[in-house]
Structure formats: C-alpha cells, structure tokens
Amino acid sequence: MNITTYNRRKAAGKCVYCGSVEPEPGRVSCKSCSIKRSKKYYHDDEFRKRLSEYHSKKYHDRKVSGICTVCGKASAEHGGLKCKACTMKISAYMKNYNSKNNICK
Ligand SMILES: [Zn+2]
Ligand SMILES: [Zn+2]
C-alpha cells in the first residue's frame, strides 16, 4: 500500500488497510484489520528478532553494570545476575511450577 492510498482512505473516513469499512474510533484501521496486522506482526521474524535483540541488549547492559537482570532496579547479588528478591521470587515460582507440572508420566 502506498501513502496516497493510505491518505485517501484516511481522508474518506475508511480503514486505511481494507478501505471498505469505517475504522475504529481514534484509529486508522478497522477491528479485523488491526487484529490481522497484530497477528502478522507477531509472526514477523524481523520484528521478533528486533525484540529479542532489544531484550538481550537490556540484559547485557544490566549484567555489565551489576544490576539485577530481572527487575533492573536492585543491584545483583555478588557474582550473580539477580537481586535477592528476584532470586527468591523465581525459585518460589519454579517450585510452584514444578509441583504443578510434576505429574507422573
Ligand atoms: Zn479494515
Ligand atoms: Zn531484581
């Protein structure tokens, strides 16, 4: 879709993606198009790659500055990657998770 189509549809008060129905209030696209596009976004490898790069950069930044890689607020325990509170939170979560999923197979 080029910018002319986009602007024409927008000016006409139609969804900029399908051009056939009215967009949702305060948006430029109708509901079905926004759902379609968000799904597309989610399955977009490029988008996911950028997202994971962002997360790993954040993780890395925290790691090198000795900040908890989970909350990013407290300083990490000596030699660790997480602060005490996060370590406890995660171990409690894992314990809970394991006991929930510990079904005999
Ligand atoms: Zn639409
Ligand atoms: Zn933390």
Gap from CA of 57 to ligand 2 centroid (Å): 17
Which residues, other chains included, contact 83 with Cβ-Cβ below 8 Å and sequence gap of 6+? 68, 70, 71, 73, 74, 75, 76, 77
Ligand that comes closest to the CA of residue 62: 2
Gap from CA of 34 to ligand 1 centroid (Å): 7
Burial of 56: CB neighbours in 10 Å, binned 0-12, 13-18, 19+: exposed
Portion of the chain with pLDDT greater than 70, in percent: 94
Q: What is the DSSP letter of 65?
A: T
Gap from CA of 14 to ligand 1 centroid (Å): 8
Which residues, other chains included, contact 24 with Cβ-Cβ below 8 Å and sequence gap of 6+? 30, 31, 34
Portion of the chain with pLDDT greater than 90, in percent: 50
At 51-69, the pLDDT tens digits run 788 889 888 898 889 999 9
Is residue 102 predicted with pLDDT exceeding 70? no
Confidence category of residue 104, pLDDT binned at 50, 70, 90: low
